[in-house]
Amino acid sequence: MDLELKGKSVIVTGAGSNIGRAITLEFAREGAHVTLADIDLAQAESVAKLALDAGAASAEAVRCDVTKLDEVQALVKSANDRAGVDVLVNNVGWDQLMFFTQTTPEFWQKIIQINFVGVLNCTSAVLPLMAAKKSGAIVSISSDASRQGEPREAVYGGMKAAVNSFMKTVAKENGRNGIRCNVVCPGVTIPADDEVGANSMWVNKDSMFTPEQLDAIAKSLPLKKIGRPGDIAKAVVFLSSNAAAGHVTGQVLSVSGGYSMVG
């Protein structure tokens, strides 16, 4: 099926590694213009080269801290000046696994800023552009921790639940302008070593999950396997396509091997 994404302009935040990298390359294979936003410019530039090799119409890396509205606005202006803005993927996310009683107010604020305020900043920057042309798609990456709670992810899960609710509301408010807003919730998703940037929370995989824990998680899932970044990327590209998902908005889709089944 032709997803009709060739020539579309896509912004991906956190594009330098892990899920963001996979999303960028999936859009590149569809022939889209991709703007790679990342706090690690060198890492984003390396992925931009891969995107061009994969078939992207163009690829531009932009250093951007999504918690800073002025930087987000500059990012969106750059993308819009080059090719317009058809799709925004709010991918940036960060966490450290620990019980809530082990966390500090400083940690809470970092989680809130990266995982929720960043989504607010990026969404607010693209909505006027999309509304003006009566079309657009926004896909935000959440987490299955948002749907049923997960030990050691209390604040992160809470912020991802906020993303789910926010995106549903934005979908209702902006559907009349032809803007679709959806959410993808990964479960445990493990990148390969060459997919991880220096600032990724997966730099030290063992600090997240031990091999024994990953094996136990895989065995507990209906599909008996751990997710990979490419699994998430394909769902994002589907939801971004008007040809494939043009009547889909305000939805929260789990891509987690069956960890969460919400109906």
Residues, the chain, total? 263
For residue 114, give the DSSP letter: I
- As a whole number of angstroms, the distance between CA 152 and CA 170 comes to 29
What is the sign of the dihedral through the CA atoms of 31, 33, 39 and 41? positive
Phi/psi-derived region of residue 219, left when phi > 0, alpha when psi is between -120 and 50, beta in every other case? alpha
Catalytic residue numbers read 156
Q: What's the maximum distance between 2 C-alpha atoms anywhere in the chain?
A: 51
- Count of CB atoms within 10 A of residue 42's CB? 12
- Start-to-end Cα distance in the chain: 27
- Distance of alpha carbon 117 from alpha carbon 182, whole angstroms: 17
